[in-house]
Amino acid sequence: MAFREVDDLRQEINGHLRTFLSHHSMKLLEISPALEKVGVGLSEFILSSGKRLRPLFAYAGFVAAGAEPGESELRAMASLELLQACALIHDDVMDRSDTRRGKPSIHKIFEQTHVKEKFSGSAELYGEASAILIGDLALVWSDLMLHSSKIDTARLLSAIPVHDEMRVELMAGQFLDVHEQGQRDWSAERALKIARFKSGKYTIERPLHFGAALANGSADLMSALSAFGLPLGEAFQLRDDLLGVFGDPEVTGKPAGDDLREGKRTVLIAFVDEALSPQQRENFYRLFGRSELTFDEVEELRSIISASGANTRIEELIAHLTSQSLSALEADAISSAAAEFMRPLVQMATRRSA
Amino acid sequence: MAFREVDDLRQEINGHLRTFLSHHSMKLLEISPALEKVGVGLSEFILSSGKRLRPLFAYAGFVAAGAEPGESELRAMASLELLQACALIHDDVMDRSDTRRGKPSIHKIFEQTHVKEKFSGSAELYGEASAILIGDLALVWSDLMLHSSKIDTARLLSAIPVHDEMRVELMAGQFLDVHEQGQRDWSAERALKIARFKSGKYTIERPLHFGAALANGSADLMSALSAFGLPLGEAFQLRDDLLGVFGDPEVTGKPAGDDLREGKRTVLIAFVDEALSPQQRENFYRLFGRSELTFDEVEELRSIISASGANTRIEELIAHLTSQSLSALEADAISSAAAEFMRPLVQMATRRSA
């Protein structure tokens, strides 16, 4: 069986998203012209970029069950991008992160509108409230897109429990992440657990299961997909940790060293913390988490991290998890044609060059 | 046919909510003990009070279709309280409202935990992020409670489109409300439209439709329920406007004159604005919207409002909408037994003493 190419798939997914967003943005206008910016803001946020990782993994889960999805099934998979939009928009509010994918984040866009149009009251609160509600709307729209995808009832009913579980795990993982930022001690173990929920499960394992459930995949297939998806998801998150410190703003869409300014408690930094000498520790925590780091200070933190060997440890862990994930593709439950489709996704999730 | 009594219904609804919340709070603990406060916070928020208006209207819609719901259907209806919890929790974050139902709001509870347990970072941001995520979780859980209610597939598939529409309208109405607070000119017309979406549709019409859809109600019934529910919902919101200014904190669970401190742009205040003399206007806007109003200043604003005749106008409008709503109960599509159940709900929604 010949599956679609990743680039073609992305085009199709984008097409379905574009159609949905334009139709439902129009419906908002029927309620009130004041909702125009809501539809435009959310549509641009979603359509301007994004790798469509979750729909691609859902596609992988579907084809692993031995079937080729039609238009309706692809629409159902594309709905995961709206869920992800909710997560990102709320994340940016919670982190007070002003940039997303190289552009102002949603709360910043609405804050700027408030200033430009000389509204009354606090521009900051207006931006924040708008982003909370647009995130909520994205969550509701993701459900609506799934429900109105025209997949047949059996597929929908089979996918709903996985979909609900995925969304609970997403919110749980997000909370654990927020909670971790408030802790005073470091724990690589806790950070790895968060990586498992936020990325292992939500980004990879559950989208695979969601796709497989749409295709009524067997319990054996579900286990095989977990064995493939969980280590890959952790590797994905560890790569994200490295990009948050060493990444090129062109690739990440965030300012250089963003996680360092934010003081983000990642597995990488937990490894750094374990390895520091008392002198290095003092230098490190003098700068780490300060919102106004200069370029030189970011460089200083980076060199402490490199000298600690933590990034090498993370690279080794990524390599280990990646090979675990690739071996899981040998499972009987996954056809060799499906495995062939899935192998480049491993590359994509752990290298993040695409 | 003899329908359940409102008080018995509330007990049953609360029982279903308690069972769901306790089961799923336990499941969160399996992910991490750090999620204990999430389950506890959300459960207490929902179970400690609330009139269960939306499930009651869903029940009304169901019995209007001529059927008596079983346990599964009541569970499906009870799920609306979780959706409402999302709306309230996010609302309190957006308004920076520290009290809800006479207790600290969710973001305040988590802010206090941060302080008490000496977490690192900003307690305020931690409280806010926690509340955003707990609101998101409530939205996901409401869906999960509906999906796992054990109603049969035909009922679920019939209710899903109404449910999605209701949730889109909720978010749209909330956005229009936030947006309105930023406008510099007053418009009773715009404020009425917001009342229509936030309360007319979301609180009353859509829950009625949701219940009727669960019972596979006819198109005629849906229209009759709109004719009943829309004016009632507007009347409900107008009563809320009055309570926000004149209400007893014992009844509202909010500090006296809360809407005056917040400077909330309600239909009531739009009517006040239309009626003020230049001298009154100066006195009014000198105080209106100031967060630190003394008791005497609240009293001063109240007497300007009373003197303007705006509250009498609102009472007249409530009376007019209420009688419109009661007349709609005469429709052929609504049985006289169902109408008998629905009449006290009108009282409850527009008097708000219960």
Partners of residue B99 on adjacent β-strands? B104
- Predicted confidence (pLDDT) at residue A202 exceeds the cutoff of 50: yes
Cβ–Cβ contact A33 with B under 8 A: no
Cα–Cα distance for residue pair B76/B293, rounded to 1 Å: 43
Cα–Cα distance for residue pair A259/A280, rounded to 1 Å: 19
How many angstroms from the chain centroid is the CA of residue B10?
A: 16
Tell if the CB–CB gap between B128 and A94 is shorter than 8 Å. Answer: yes
Nearest CA in chain A to B143: A164
Task: Select from A125, A140, A193 the Cβ nearest to the Cβ of B167.
Answer: A140
Measured CA angle at A31 (ends A44, B95), to 5 deg: 75
- Classified as helix, coil or strand, B100 is strand
Cβ–Cβ contact B192 with A under 8 A: no
Nearest CA in chain A to B88: A133
Q: What is the pLDDT of residues B310-336, one digit of tens each?
A: 999 999 999 999 999 999 999 999 999
Q: What is the pLDDT of residues A126-162, one digit of tens each?
A: 999 999 999 999 999 999 999 999 999 999 999 999 9
The nearest CA of chain A is from the CA of B36 a distance in Å of 11
Q: Which two tokens stand for residue A32?
A: 């009130």
Q: Which residue has the tokens 């597995």?
A: A267
Amino acid at A222: M
When pLDDT is cut at 50, 70 and 90, the band that residue B354 belongs to is very low
Cβ–Cβ contact B182 with A under 8 A: yes
Residues 253-272 of B with CB under 8 A from A: 263
Tell if the CB–CB gap between B168 and A137 is shorter than 8 Å. Answer: yes
State the average pLDDT for chain B.
Answer: 94
Nearest CA in chain B to A125: B94
Detail the DSSP E strand segments found in chain A. 99-100, 103-104
Q: Which chain B residues have a beta carbon less than 8 Å from that of A160? A: 147
The nearest CA of chain B is from the CA of A335 a distance in Å of 32
> Which residues neighbour A109 within 8 Å (Cβ) at sequence distance 6 or greater?
A41, A127
Q: Which residue has the tokens 């996901």?
A: B140
DSSP state of A197: I
Cα–Cα distance for residue pair B118/A100, rounded to 1 Å: 31
Residues 93-112 of A with CB under 8 A from B: 93-94, 96
Q: What is the pLDDT of residues B147-169, one digit of tens each?
A: 999 999 999 999 999 999 999 99
- Predicted confidence (pLDDT) at residue A188 exceeds the cutoff of 50: yes
Cα–Cα distance for residue pair A39/A22, rounded to 1 Å: 8
- Predicted confidence (pLDDT) at residue A203 exceeds the cutoff of 80: yes
Cα–Cα distance for residue pair B191/A6, rounded to 1 Å: 48
The nearest CA of chain A is from the CA of B334 a distance in Å of 28
When pLDDT is cut at 50, 70 and 90, the band that residue B1 belongs to is low
CB A95 within 8 A of CB A262: yes
Dihedral angle of Cα A307, A311, A315, A321, to the nearest 10 degrees: 130
- Predicted confidence (pLDDT) at residue B257 exceeds the cutoff of 90: no
Sign of CA dihedral A69, A74, A76, A80: positive
- Predicted confidence (pLDDT) at residue B353 exceeds the cutoff of 90: no
